[in-house]
Structure 1
């Protein structure tokens, strides 16, 4: 399904199955197959760790769990689309600038990996833009580390300029729209097949996770309520209710 880390996989399962209301989810054999999980000792150890960190809560029945707000915030750092399915944008832009010397390439590459899911788009050379509230996360990430001296971060509201031009330049909205339309065609082909429902949903999920990694998670205030990314989420929920209901 494109997610290898067990911790992220569990958080993703709980959100995609329960939705924005964080309902309890029983991780039964069907969901284990779909999300490529087994409730072995390692997985149960990960679940216990997530509970201790306050990222998930154990339900009343066996193998039942639900996501917490803290867990949702961590997941949104991997898949930024999720944040504004639930939260409201505060209207602020965050700008990050960093120039790390080539001889420190391993530091630069590590920083880029950490920030990969923050919805950052390239604005100008060495300047990255995002509507997500990531400044405090960035501070924690680089505090007292060597890369701290190479980074500048800003936060504020726009005063003047064409927002649509900015969004297209920074995030390539039209290309993302095309990618979603290609996804919908793939979903249609999968649903038209003769496989079992569980196998169909597993493929649906795998294709969706691929584009979730690409979507910067722009809020409706920037892209409108009819943005195709929101449409994709609603279609996914419908497919889920058909195949797993």
Structure 2
């Protein structure tokens, strides 16, 4: 999805809550008027065809029409992941470990492999040792491709046996103090949500800041299962406040 289309979905997600309120009349224009003024009508129709937006009620007037995201649309603006589903997923108590050996002369290949592992939210233990609590069956083909390129790549299932706890492994593999700093910034932005009477322009500017703060936090967060979340983790607090504001914006 293009950044422009993702931005439009994001604005729509927040606007669906705003325009559901009786105070929506305090805006200087309707959401549909705003779409026309910004030249976004065609892109909006394309998103609906792709199943990202619900079709508004046929009897809704242009003024009263409320546009809502489908489940696919909501997941799309969350970076392709559903935080609640991620936290609630079961964990079988086993870690999946990726071990590889890339010659020092192949720096570009090493960086490409690191990017792949970070993209899939693996935790970093050492340069050549990465870890995840999740089965890698769905990634087996891609990992096989990486193995063919690297030459020496091994997958293991493991449990700590030297006195380390799972909490120790989590603390070592992911930088949760940094993740919490990103969530604190997001909570700060949520606290700056404009008043209804501020108008769509102010709302769009704020939505842009909220989107940036949320996506930065979500990109860094592996969204571990509940059983592995560290004490003081702020992801659920930020998610809960965001959900409440979306319901009462």
TM-score (ref. length: structure 2): 0.63
Does structure 2 conserve the Cα–Cα contact (< 8 Å) formed by 1:94 and 1:156? yes
Does structure 2 conserve the Cα–Cα contact (< 8 Å) formed by 1:78 and 1:116? no
> 1:182 & 1:76 partners in 2: Cα distance?
17
Is the radius of gyration larger for structure 1 or structure 2? 2
> 1:61 & 1:81 partners in 2: Cα distance?
27
TM-score (ref. length: structure 1): 0.63
> 1:5 & 1:65 partners in 2: Cα distance?
17
Does structure 2 conserve the Cα–Cα contact (< 8 Å) formed by 1:98 and 1:126? yes
> 2:141 & 2:159 partners in 1: Cα distance?
23
Q: Residue 89 of structure 1: which of 91, 96, 121 is its match?
A: 91
Residue 141 of structure 1: CA displacement?
A: 1.2
> 1:190 & 1:117 partners in 2: Cα distance?
30
> 2:172 & 2:56 partners in 1: Cα distance?
49
> 1:181 & 1:67 partners in 2: Cα distance?
27
- 1:163 maps to 166
Residue 186 of structure 1: CA displacement?
A: 3.1
Task: Structure 1: give runs of 5+ residues left out of the alignment.
Answer: 18-27, 49-55
Task: Structure 2: give runs of 5+ residues left out of the alignment.
Answer: 15-29, 58-66
CA RMSD of aligned residues (A): 4.4
Cα pair distance change 1:110/1:172, threshold 3 Å: closer
* Deviation by residue 1:179-218 (Cα, 9 ceiling, x = unmatched): 3223322332344898436323332222111111111212
- 1:120 maps to 122
Does structure 2 conserve the Cα–Cα contact (< 8 Å) formed by 1:80 and 1:117? no
**How many residue pairs get matched?**
213
- Structure 2 residue 67 is the aligned partner of structure 1 residue 66: no
Alignment of 1:228-239 (within 5 A): 228-239=234-245
* Deviation by residue 1:106-129 (Cα, 9 ceiling, x = unmatched): 333333333323221211341011
* Deviation by residue 1:124-151 (Cα, 9 ceiling, x = unmatched): 3410112233x12432214356325332
